[in-house]
Amino acid sequence: MRRGIAVSRPLYFGCRRKNGHTQAVLITEYATDFISLNTLLSQWALKKPSCSSRKEIIAAVASAIRKLHQVRFCHRHLVPKHIFLKPDSKPIPVILIDLEAMEPFRPFRKNRQADLASLNNRCRSVSQTDKLRFLFSYLGISKWTPSAKQFARDILRKTYQKSRSSLQKSTNRMSCV
């Protein structure tokens, strides 16, 4: 929270190096009354909320991720189950979890794109319109610009690469069985 990133209150953090890799554990306080974006998207699949409600939620999530990136940090595993919110509150509070792998950006653009591609890859049930709303809100724009179009293309390319990589891994696992 010191950098403006909303998180659950940390209770314990531990870190060690093993076989040349860093292993970390972060235990946080339970986020009472918050639900994961993953759960919310499942609910949307059953009953879509009003357009204004979706816009508010999308803007709140985009703002939280933009704040993370503005302080030049990359989540490294940004997926809907690591984003929690209270959709019935005004304004909608959003917290991020699973931050033990978070790291400072090296090349700013590529890290930011990797986070957004990861999220895009795991939000397959979200409409293209809502994904565009998210991107516009994240970028703070109201209409397409040449740089926004290129940024969107780069995210889509990374998303495609991630989904192909995931598909190859699952195919390799199935062929070993």
pLDDT per residue as tens digits for the range 107-118 = 666 788 989 999
Distances (CA, A) of 45 to 104, 107, 113, 131: 35, 36, 26, 15
Single pTM value for the model:
0.82
Distance CA 118, CA 80 (A): 9
Any idea what DSSP says for residue 141?
Answer: -
Instruction: Point out the residues of the chain with pLDDT beneath 70.
Output: 1-4, 107-109, 166-177
**Please, what are the domains in the chain?**
32-162 (3.90.1200.10)
> What does R_g of the chain's alpha carbons equal in angstroms?
17
pLDDT on residue 28: 81
3-state helix/strand/coil string of 48-91: CCCHHHHHHHHHHHHHHHHHHHHCCEECCCCCHHHEEECCCCCC
Single-letter amino acid, residue 60: A
